């Protein structure tokens, strides 16, 4: 049986790392990382931290729209992306069916199933990575392809990883 949620968690790590590598290579080539792209990608990483905290019943170290520079994005990616992937990989049926109660950033209370939260995190991040790609292109940078199928093709060795 394929564990789709575990695969999505691994994809999310890959997509974040692929985007960070592209931002790093752009900066190394003397180009500035566009602030709008950093702002949106900060939101992606912050959301991971927030959902991890909600799932574990702890306080988040980050706010929803807290902004990070490229070094800060690397730091928080290292703190959150693999941890999120582990939550996806280790979630058994009991965990996936568990419900948690939490309040969003506006203070509204909700009850959600863990499987829905884990899926949401990956879909949410993909949506915003698409926005980051647009902001990069607007700034004259070549965005990276962070599509799920590209991840699958790289993992199967059908294509060479992007730099």
Model confidence over 111-133: pLDDT tens digits? 999 999 999 999 999 999 999 99
**Token pair of 158 as six digits:** 């059908």
99 assigned ligand-binding residue: no
Q: What is the mean pLDDT of the chain?
A: 96
43 known ligand binder = yes
**Burial letters for 58-74: b for 16+ Cβ neighbours within 10 Å, e otherwise?**
eebebeeebebeeeebb
**For residue 145, with 0-12 CB atoms within 10 Å meaning exposed, 13-18 middle and 19 or more buried, which class applies?**
middle
**102 membership: H or E segment, kind and range:** strand 99-103
pLDDT one-digit tens code per residue, 31-87: 999 999 999 999 999 999 999 999 999 999 999 999 999 999 999 999 999 999 999
Average pLDDT score over residue span 5-34:
97
Q: Taking the domain 4-92+109-156, which CATH number applies?
A: 1.20.120.450
Q: Which pLDDT belongs to residue 135? A: 98
């Amino acid at each position: 049986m394929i564990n789709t949620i575990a695969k999505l968690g691994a994809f999310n790590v890959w997509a974040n790392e692929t985007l960070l590598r592209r931002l790093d290579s752009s900066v190394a080539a003397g180009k500035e990382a566009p602030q709008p792209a950093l702002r949106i990608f900060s939101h992606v990483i912050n959301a991971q931290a927030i959902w991890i905290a909600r799932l574990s019943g702890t306080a988040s170290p980050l706010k929803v729209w807290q902004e990070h520079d490229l070094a800060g994005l690397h730091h928080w990616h290292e703190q959150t992306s693999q941890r999120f992937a582990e939550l996806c990989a280790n979630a058994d049926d009991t965990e996936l069916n568990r419900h948690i109660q939490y309040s969003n950033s506006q203070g509204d209370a909700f009850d959600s199933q863990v499987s829905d939260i884990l899926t949401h995190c990956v879909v949410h991040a993909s949506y915003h990575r698409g926005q980051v790609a647009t902001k990069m292109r607007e700034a004259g940078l070549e965005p990276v392809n962070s599509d799920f199928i590209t991840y699958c093709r790289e993992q199967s060795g059908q294509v060479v990883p992007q730099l």
